[in-house]
Amino acid sequence: MSVSNTVFPESPKWPEEGTSRVPFWAYTREDLYKKELDRLFYNDHWCYVGLDAEIPHAGDFKRTVIGERSVLMVREKDGSIHVVENVCAHRGMAFCRERHGNRDSLTCPYHQWNYSLSGDLQGVPFRRGVKQDGKVNGGMPADFKPSDHNLTKLKVATRGGVVFASFDHDVEPLEDFLGPVILGYFDRLFDGRKLKILGYNRQRIPGNWKLMQENIKDPYHPGLLHTWFVTFGLWRADNKSQLLMDTHHRHAAMVSTRGAAGKAADVTQVSSFKANMELNDPRFLDIVQEPWWGGPTAVMMTVFPSVIFQQQVNSVSTRHIQPDGHGAFDFVWTHFGFEDDSEEMTQRRLQQANLFGPAGFVSADDGEVIEWSQEAFETKPSHRALVELGGREVGDTDHMVTETLIRGMYEYWRKVMEAT
């Protein structure tokens, strides 16, 4: 057997065809994954941490992660939002075990180091020693300065009720990070109305985290894999659509307007189209146009690397990508509504949520196909996936019959990761 035939190359090369071929090793190498955490999650990028409606009151906190690092999103007494790393400055303990709650201050139970809600160290037991028999035993050195030992504080940006944070204090402003096109669609969804949390869904998908970004940068599959989308016209190849990116091609918006349901020559000759399918209970798809849509019935935004913002008709949610090793990620869905929603609209959003999440009529499939891809990637990292629908180049389009957004993401990924 010649060494060049190995399926486990030691120093693999990126295929020559630009980013229309994605090598399997991009999903399987632990060293690359660590580099992704450093370069994409811990530096230069804004990552999603939550919605400010999750911590409405002073002292409220939510524990979440950026990449693999545990962080707390906290509301200070003055109402400001802070994000601190859940690692005690003393012995490094991930001290906060609750996932949400309300506190006056943050205390590590191990040695009771105490921090303000914004992460300033304010109490160290026995700092000045313990008096016994007329002498002082122990204590911190005289030059110990509490201010040198605060929790790691992240840079925070909030916009429209969404909270982003970055370990990198030199990161560009959030608005520049998103770029004007994505920012426009972001502001369409998060237009300043107060958000109302409807609840969470959590799933673990045994696949590389990038596959979830790709899933929502791939308008090819929804009209094929997802019977509900193609049969009821919610998302399919003959819908009026646009695929848009930021100038770095890392973020994207898939913008689409629901067309006619039913048969159409090209797009319904697929096995997933069910001409005779009728719902026993049409409330699943009791769609009511909302004024803020301004046209599109679905806008799926991928904000690289950590989050997806979903509007599919009346169902709106954030989907948080929480990687755990190269081969798995947790996927946390936060469904929400708006403060001015009527009770009927809230019920409608909850009903349409049946399409999404880990058991959703539509989304359950996505986790499954990601798992099956990863399964094959692991067996032969020397091979590659093909991303050539709509050509080999990268650019915005006015249709969805293309994989341009995935090619765009890998163009950016290769640059940042220096993957040659």
Partner 1 sequence: MMDFKNYFELTQLYGDYASAVDAADWDAWPEFFIDDCVYKLQPRENHERGFPLSTLAFESKGMLKDRVYGIRETLFHDPYYQRHVVGTPVVRKVDADGRIHSEANYAVFRTRLSKESTVFNVGRTLDEVVRTPQGLKFASRLVIYDSELIPNSLIYPI
Judged by the rule CB under 8 A, the positions of this chain that interact with partner 1 are: 99-100, 197-206, 225-228, 272, 274, 277, 279-281, 283-284, 330, 335, 346, 350-351, 353-354, 357-359, 361, 364-365, 367-369, 371-372
Q: What is the β-pairing status of strands 195-205 and 155-159?
A: unpaired
Q: Are 411 and 19 in contact (CB under 8 A)?
A: yes
The CB-of-362 to partner 1 minimum distance in angstroms stands at 9
The CB-of-100 to partner 1 minimum distance in angstroms stands at 8
User: Considering only CA atoms, which of 313, 307, 311, 298 is closest in space to residue 329?
Assistant: 307
The CB-of-388 to partner 1 minimum distance in angstroms stands at 23
The H-or-E segment that residue 121 falls in is strand 121-123
Residue 116: partners with Cβ closer than 8 Å, 6 or more residues away = 76, 105, 106, 122
Q: Which is nearer to partner 1, 54 or 85 (CB)?
A: 54
The CB-of-363 to partner 1 minimum distance in angstroms stands at 8
The CB-of-334 to partner 1 minimum distance in angstroms stands at 9
The CB-of-184 to partner 1 minimum distance in angstroms stands at 28
Q: Which is nearer to partner 1, 368 or 393 (CB)?
A: 368
Q: Which is nearer to partner 1, 89 or 316 (CB)?
A: 316
Token readout for 14 is 């990126």
For residue 371, the one-letter residue type is E
Residue 301: partners with Cβ closer than 8 Å, 6 or more residues away = 182, 185, 186, 189, 251, 252, 253, 254, 308, 309, 310
Within a 10 A sphere around the Cβ of 271, how many other Cβ atoms?
Answer: 7
Q: Which is nearer to partner 1, 74 or 124 (CB)?
A: 74
Q: Which is nearer to partner 1, 124 or 237 (CB)?
A: 237
Separation of CA 318 from chain center: 7
Phi-psi region of 44 (alpha: psi -120 to 50; beta: other; left: phi over 0): left
Q: Which is nearer to partner 1, 290 or 330 (CB)?
A: 330
Q: Which is nearer to partner 1, 129 or 199 (CB)?
A: 199
The CB-of-272 to partner 1 minimum distance in angstroms stands at 7
Q: DSSP code of 99?
A: S
Q: Are 32 and 326 in contact (CB under 8 A)?
A: yes
